[in-house]
Each structure stands twice: as C-alpha cells, then as structure tokens.
C-alpha cells in the first residue's frame, strides 16, 4: 500500500511534504513492534497515525484501543490501564480487566501521555521493558504483548526538566518519533481541507457548498490556525450554516477568524514555542528598555542644566554616577563638547562616554553581572535574571561568554 492509497483509506487530505513524511514513517514502522512517539499541536490529527500503523501491522486482526490519558481522573487511571481486583478500593465490587489486558496481542494508543501521573509512568515503563504488569490490589504478575503508541501536544523536554515526566520513559517510548505538522507549516493543504469540509457540510445540511473568493483564499492561507484542522473544520461549518451568500469574501471570512492579522514581515516558524522562555525573555527586554529610558532621561536633564548654566553637582545619594571627590568630565554624544566640574579634593579625572543603547549589549551586561554576583553559578544567576537555565546556557553561547 502506497501513500496515496493510505490517504484514500483514512480520508487524509493534503500533499504537504511534512505530512507525506509522517505517513511514510508510519507505514515503514508498522511491520515492526517498535514503540512510536507522535508529537504535534492539538488538532493536527495525531489520532490517525496509530490507526495507520495498526491496520498495516501483523496485529491488525486483534484489538486496537485508544486511551485519552488526560480525560481519566488520577485516582482511577491505574485501574483503567491495568485493571483491579475485587475490593482493591472503595467501589471495586468486582474484578476488572484493564486496557493492557484487553489489548493483548493488539495495539494501544495512549493519547496525551504527558498527563499521566508519575506513579502510572513507572508502571508503564515496566510494561514496555518486560511486558509485565500487576492489577491494582493484586500481587500476581501478569504478562501482556501490546504494541504501545503514544502522543502528546506539549513540550516533553520541558516536562522532563520540571519533573513531570520520566526521562527514561520518554526514551523508551521515543524509539520511532513522528512529527505531525500544524496547518501553518502545510499552507498548500489549507484550501484543500476547506473545500473538503465545505462539501461534507453541504451534503449534511442539504445546501449548496460555500466557495471562497480570491481574497478569501489569501486570508485563509495567511491565518495562523492555532486550533489547526479542528478549528478549520468548525469555522467551515459555521460559515456553511450562517452565511446566505455562498461565495465568501475575505472581509466576511475575517469575521470568523479570532484575532486575525496579516504579517508582511518574513518569519520562520520552527515549531514548539516555549511560552515560558518567551515570557521571561520579554520581561528582561522590558527591564532593559526601562533602564535605558531612565538613563537617557537623566542625561537629557544634565545637558539641560549645563546649557542653561545652572548646573550643580547632585548629592551622592541622588545619583550614584557622580563622585563629588573627583573631577568629572561629561561627554555629550551629539556635539561632543567636554564639561569639567571642579570639586574639592581632586585626585583624578573620570570621563563618561556615550553608553551603548544596544539591547543585546545590555542583556549581555546583565548576564555577566549576575554570573559575577554568584561566582559563576548558573543556576542562581538564572533565577536572579528571571530566566530558565536552558535560556541562560543559550545566551552564554550566543554572546560567547566564558566563565
């Protein structure tokens, strides 16, 4: 079976190279018993990949069970997956088989696996390594022969760093990784999907299908689609029902797209935005800009006093940049005149030159100060800067800062 036949069988729409790559890997790994780890944003259709793998494997005549780990309460997840004995806990009135027992010799798909409690992760790791498990309330070891496919829409690396996901379990699951791209990385498929959904809803509601004008097609392709295929399908259904005019213009389409804006700047998206890192870096930039504004305002004030001939040295507690025990030479960046203020007890001359206004220079300066403050200990420096250690490591490399 080739990729085209797989698409037809599972109603997959699209010709994106990234989508074709994901399907191709799924078909190649199907004949093995290797664990597969699927990553991709919510709404990208990750649930299709396990079905392709199961239906093209030697297990296709046995059970295929899909489990949404995020939808099962933490108190019952072990019972759901591994079963329980009668009387194992309150409400356990009879013995029950778990999914791993039911799916013996078949395939089990664990969606949103990063939501599993750590205790359950330990049990799952044992199943993957030895094929053994114990029911809740039992001391008898049972065997199961199950092919495990897992998926998540979150950054697993970050979950590992935060202690929410076991690193050994990740490496055991990630034998074969498959990445399912978001819609913004397969723009050539967006209009194809829209037409497919429009046709389906026209048939469902017994009405003419909606069509997009040229400017609406442009709007459709330039929207970010945070909800991916699920969001596109929902919006297509809304328009199909609400709009009487079956030809949709760009202005009409924009009304259905939350926070639509079109960027005319080139951008490269590499997937998996680290929201926490982005937020902390933004806070650092705000802090740098605020400090720069304060320095510039102070400089303007000083120049104004000097120009008016009413300058008098400030007290030390008012401005730490000035030292009354020294001759202070101030350089004004615009015209570069030098002003000398004579004070008592002159021993040397301090020259203030134009300060760099580069955000990168300021950021580098803050990082160096934080490292010096904590004697090179990156963990404490990162905490003081309000960023993660990973971000600090990246900044050290970027600015070529050596400890």
Q: Check whether 221 has a pLDDT greater than 80.
A: yes
CATH 3.20.20.60 assigned to domain 3-181? The reply is no
pLDDT of 75 reads 86
- How far is Cα 19 from Cα 13, in angstroms, rounded to an integer? 10
pLDDT of 188 reads 93
CB atoms within 10 A of CB 391: 19
Q: Check whether 335 has a pLDDT greater than 70.
A: no
CB atoms within 10 A of CB 141: 11
Give the CATH number of domain 185-254.
Answer: 1.10.8.60
- Residue ranges per domain, the chain? 3-181, 185-254
Model confidence over 246-282: pLDDT tens digits?
A: 999 999 999 999 876 554 444 444 455 455 555 666 6
HSE at residue 17, side-chain half, CA atoms within 13 A, is: 0
CB atoms within 10 A of CB 173: 25
β-bridge mates for residue 176, sequence order: 36
Return all residues near 320 (Cβ < 8 A) that are at least 6 apart: none
pTM for the whole thing? 0.63
Model confidence over 122-146: pLDDT tens digits?
A: 999 999 999 999 999 888 999 999 9
């Amino acid at each position: 079976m080739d990729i085209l036949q797989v698409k037809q069988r599972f109603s997959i729409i699209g010709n994106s190279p990234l989508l074709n790559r994901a399907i191709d890997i799924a078909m190649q790994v199907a004949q093995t018993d290797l664990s597969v780890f699927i990553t991709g944003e919510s709404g990208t259709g990750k649930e299709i990949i396990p079905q392709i793998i199961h239906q093209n494997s030697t297990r296709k005549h046995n059970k295929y069970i899909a489990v949404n780990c995020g939808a099962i309460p933490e108190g019952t997840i072990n019972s759901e997956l591994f079963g329980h004995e009668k009387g194992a806990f309150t409400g356990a009135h009879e013995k029950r088989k778990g999914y791993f027992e039911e799916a013996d010799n078949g395939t089990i798909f664990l969606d949103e696996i990063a939501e599993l409690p750590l205790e359950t992760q330990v049990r799952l790791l044992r199943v993957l390594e030895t094929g053994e498990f114990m029911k809740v309330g039992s001391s008898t070891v049972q065997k199961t022969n199950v092919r495990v496919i897992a998926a998540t829409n979150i950054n697993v690396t970050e979950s590992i760093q935060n202690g929410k996901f076991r690193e050994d379990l990740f490496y055991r699951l990630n034998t074969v990784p498959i990445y399912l791209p978001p819609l913004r990385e397969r723009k050539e498929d967006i209009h194809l999907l829209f037409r497919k959904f429009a046709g389906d809803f026209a048939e469902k509601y017994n009405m003419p299908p909606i069509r997009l004008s040229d400017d609406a097609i442009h709007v459709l392709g330039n929207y970010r689609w945070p909800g991916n295929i699920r969001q596109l399908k929902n919006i297509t259904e809304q328009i199909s029902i609400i709009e009487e005019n079956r030809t949709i213009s760009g202005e009409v389409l924009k009304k259905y797209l939350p926070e639509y804006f079109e960027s005319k700047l080139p951008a490269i998206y590499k997937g998996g935005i680290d929201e926490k890192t982005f937020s902390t870096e933004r806070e650092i930039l705000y802090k740098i800009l605020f400090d720069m504004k304060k320095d510039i305002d102070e400089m303007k004030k000083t120049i104004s006093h000097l120009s008016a001939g009413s300058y008098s040295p400030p007290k030390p507690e008012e401005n730490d940049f000035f030292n009354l025990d020294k001759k202070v030479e101030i350089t004004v960046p615009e015209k570069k005149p030098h002003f000398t203020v004579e004070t008592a007890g002159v021993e040397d001359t301090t020259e203030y030159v134009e300060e760099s206004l580069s955000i990168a220079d300021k950021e580098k300066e803050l990082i160096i100060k934080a490292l010096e403050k904590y004697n090179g200990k990156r963990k404490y420096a990162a905490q003081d800067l309000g960023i993660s250690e990973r971000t600090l490591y990246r900044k050290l490399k970027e600015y070529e800062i050596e400890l």
